[in-house]
Amino acid sequence: MDRKRLFSIFIIVFIDLVGFGLILPLLPFYADEYGATPFVVGLLTASYAAAQLIGAPILGRLSDRYGRRPVLLISIFGTAAGFLLLGIADPLGRSLAANLGVSAEPVIIALLFISRILDGLTGGNISVAQAYITDITDAESRAKGLGLLGAAFGLGFIIGPAAGGILSTWGFAVPAFVAAGLATINLISVYFWLPESLTSEKRAAAAERERPQFSIKALWQAINRPRVGPLLHIRFFFGLAFATFQTVFPLFAQYQLNLDARQTGFILTYVGVLAAFVQGGAIGLLTKRFSERSLIFSSTIIMTGSLLVWAFTPNVPVLLVVLLPLAYAGGVLGTVINSALSKSVYSEEVGGTLGLAASLESSTRVIAPSLGGYLLGSLGAWAPGVFSALIMAWVVSFTWRRLIIDPDPPLPPRKTDEDWNQTETAPLVN
């Protein structure tokens, strides 16, 4: 394992997630200032994921073909531009509204949507960084390396939400400008200090076998592959349940516990501490002692119970206790599923596979915010948690049947270029 490059990508992801964490808990309050309903807030959160649903697999395959570094540069540039637009949405929206002779609030909300969509279309930072980790680690250290990446994610959320809550006292645009500045620093760091991780031989192999487009056919083929398919199923449904919790949490905190933006930021900081501990330290120890399949299965059980208890959390002290097992299960599943996926395909397919998994996860973030916001507004603050727990109960059953009872089939022999052209089983992304 290349520790120097691992540290470099750790710092890059950490800075990226600090910027993301700065604005995540503030978006509902930001949009609420301009008259957005809970449903519109859900759509605003979902717009980022909807754009990432399209962008992530394309960026992943492009990184397989052209290298991780150039794709990271494109992705981070889009993130910086999206945050900058978020920061200037108010003055720009009011100027446009005055010229058009319309009310300013809908224009500002539209700019908020555009900023999140721009970030989402180019937001392949994490999946490409995960592919970078697989390039510089072997199978035995893969989960540990991805765990350190998850720790960077968690540490970013330790600092980001808390700093965002503090900065919001000077206005919701301030955290957005700071996030844009951090993304710019990241862009400079990648350009000058991050070397390419993918060898020219692997890029050539990817170019020969796969074209960097995303298609429904490619997704369907991946889902039906015996080693990859079950993991993608688990990734999708776990993602749907967990995204419901994550995206509706600021609304839950506001409506159920009467917390403001700053208090919500501190709660998310607490979650970041837990996630950093699990992914930065515990994952390496857990994967040495337990198989990845058993870790996935046990974590689905823990998450099911945690989400059900979260649904009926009456106060902050109980919430802090509930978040302990919830953060553990989320950290293990998010890391170990990706590690297992990277070992289920050939090396020249890793970027596309992780991009495809990121795309599926993004699709859950399209569904979850709107659905979670609707359930909370229509039925009550308990409804998103019960819905998520029911999904995870099914995941427990599916994981038992497909990962525990059924052994993993061996990775099939590599196909030649002629084989790819003559058979129905095409590469992951066509």
Provide the CATH number for the domain around residue 76: 1.20.1250.20
| pLDDT tens profile 95-148 | 999 988 888 888 988 998 999 888 888 766 777 887 788 787 776 677 777 777
Closest by CA position to 152, among listed 17, 338, 341, 339: 17
- Three-state SS string across 227-277, please? CCHHHHHHHHHHHHHHHHHHHHHHHHHHHCCCCCHHHHHHHHHHHHHHHHH
Closest by CA position to 425, among listed 312, 309, 307, 346: 346
Residue 234 in contact with residue 296, Cβ under 8 Å?
yes
Amino acid letter, 241: A
Note whether residue 422 is domain-resident. no
Give the torsion sign (CA, 88, 158, 302, 379).
Answer: negative
Note whether residue 426 is domain-resident. no
Number of domains in the chain: 1
Q: How many Å apart are CA 266 and CA 159, to the nearest integer?
A: 9
Q: How many Å apart are CA 309 and CA 281, to the nearest integer?
A: 26
pLDDT at residue 163, rounded to an integer: 81
Residue 61 in contact with residue 130, Cβ under 8 Å?
no
Q: Which residues contact 121 (CB under 8 A, 6 or more apart)?
A: 51, 52, 54, 55, 78
Give the torsion sign (CA, 240, 50, 109, 122).
Answer: positive
Note whether residue 168 is domain-resident. yes
Note whether residue 208 is domain-resident. yes
Q: Which two tokens stand for residue 358?
A: 């990121």
Q: How many Å apart are CA 52 and CA 327, to the nearest integer?
A: 24
Note whether residue 427 is domain-resident. no
Note whether residue 153 is domain-resident. yes
pLDDT at residue 424, rounded to an integer: 38
Each residue's pLDDT, cut to its tens digit, for the chain (430 residues) gives 567 777 778 777 777 777 777 777 677 777 878 888 777 877 787 787 777 777 777 777 788 778 888 888 988 898 889 889 988 988 998 999 998 888 888 898 899 899 988 888 876 677 788 778 878 777 667 777 777 777 777 677 677 777 887 887 888 788 889 888 988 988 898 888 888 877 666 656 555 555 444 445 555 556 656 677 788 889 889 989 988 887 788 888 888 888 877 777 778 778 777 877 787 677 777 878 888 888 999 999 999 999 999 999 888 899 999 999 998 898 888 888 888 887 777 666 666 677 777 777 777 877 887 788 788 878 888 899 899 999 999 999 999 888 877 655 555 555 444 443 443 333 333 3
The boundaries of the domain holding residue 110 are 3-410
Q: Which two tokens stand for residue 37?
A: 């309903």
Note whether residue 292 is domain-resident. yes
Note whether residue 34 is domain-resident. yes
